Amino acid sequence: MNLAEGVQIVSFGILGVMMIGTALGVVLLPKIVHSAFLLAGVFISISGLYILLNADFVAAAQILVYVGAVNVLILFAIMLVNKQEDYAKLPGRLIRKVATAVVCFGLFALLGTMVLVTPWSLDSTSPAVVENTVIALGEHFFSDYLLPFELASVLLLMAMVGAIILARRDLIPESLATVDTISTSLTLPERPRELATLSSDNEPQN
């Protein structure tokens, strides 16, 4: 996607303000449901930044995976739990806030330094410029990174099976069956011969 330089700058400014505003809303709003909805806004703005970088596949994956799966899962978890709890004041709360602020400022300084020292300009003839990212990623997935790709698929399958087991945990018996119950569970109980003959004699004859 080729846009004019002015359009790119304006779009970057709008997406940047949107991302920062929604991220602050996620942290500062008291309602956790509102924070979850604003988190979707953060993911959408990041997807827009990927589009400006001509990373169409990563932008689509951002929408499908994070907005369509992760954020929806967070909303479902919040709505299913819906627990009201009065939080008590913790001792040393000021120290924890100061430590959190120092860590956040350190991460911000580290990321800002990386942004400033990284050469972002690319030559148009550079091999790093890819016309179609979907084709390039598909070639790498099924050639160079085939083993990690398949391992990730197996890991997701294991996570899905574990989620199904946890969702159906009410059907799991509390105690395992013994050997006797397992051996007799597949056989029908037989009636004694005496009871069988008595019942046949007592039956009314038509």
**Span 102-147, pLDDT tens digits:** 998 999 999 999 989 988 776 655 555 556 677 777 788 788 888 8
Residues 6+ apart with CB under 8 A from 141: 149
Please state, in angstroms and rounded to a whole number, the distance separating the CA atoms of residues 25 and 23.
Answer: 5
**Count of CA atoms in the C-beta half-sphere (13 A) of 52:** 19
What whole-number distance in Å separates Cα of residue 28 and Cα of residue 32?
10
Half-sphere exposure of 176 (CA within 13 A, CB side): 2
E strands within the chain?
Answer: none
Two tokens, residue 8: 């790119």
pLDDT tens, position by position, 65-80: 888 888 888 888 777 7
pTM of the model: 0.56
CA–CA separation, 56 and 96 (whole Å):
41
> Position 72: which residue type?
V
Predicted local distance difference test score (pLDDT) of residue 177: 46
Q: What is the pLDDT of residues 158-177, one digit of tens each?
A: 888 877 777 666 555 555 44
